[in-house]
């Protein structure tokens, strides 16, 4: 794909797809067969479960978290979290 804002046609060509459509948040959750409460939707709707300062860079937050949690703890938590994609 060329450029930062590909057209729908360019995305289809890149994916070798006939069409491309976007799901709503509700559609994504419904496709899993699980309840909305099973997922953290903060990245999609901006409704973070903890206070969030938008001025803080996402990568800085991730680096801080990595220092606190061991790799084993992080992997264990990740395995328990259902994924949409």
- The Cα–Cα gap between 14 and 81 comes to 30
Select from 85, 80, 5, 83 the least CA-distant residue to 40.
83
Does residue 37 belong to any structural domain of this protein? yes
* Segment 2-36, tens digit of pLDDT: 678 899 999 999 999 999 988 899 999 999 999 98
- The Cα–Cα gap between 8 and 19 comes to 8
* Segment 37-76, tens digit of pLDDT: 888 888 888 888 877 676 666 777 777 776 666 666 767 7
By residue range, what is the domain housing residue 76? 8-80
Rounded alpha-carbon distances, angstroms, from residue 81 to 15, 63, 74, 85? 28, 20, 11, 12
Does residue 1 belong to any structural domain of this protein? no
Domain count, the chain: 1
Does residue 24 belong to any structural domain of this protein? yes
Supply the pLDDT for residue 34.
94
More confident residue, 17 or 84: 17
Residue with tokens 């890149």: 14
């Amino acid at each position: 794909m060329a450029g930062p804002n590909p057209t729908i046609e360019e995305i289809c060509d890149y994916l070798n797809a006939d069409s491309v459509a976007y799901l709503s948040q509700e559609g994504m959750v419904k496709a899993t067969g699980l309840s909305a409460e099973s997922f953290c939707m903060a990245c999609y709707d901006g409704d973070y479960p903890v206070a969030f300062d938008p001025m803080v860079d996402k990568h800085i937050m991730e680096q801080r978290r990595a220092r606190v949690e061991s790799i084993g703890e992080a992997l264990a938590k990740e395995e328990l979290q259902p994924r949409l994609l």
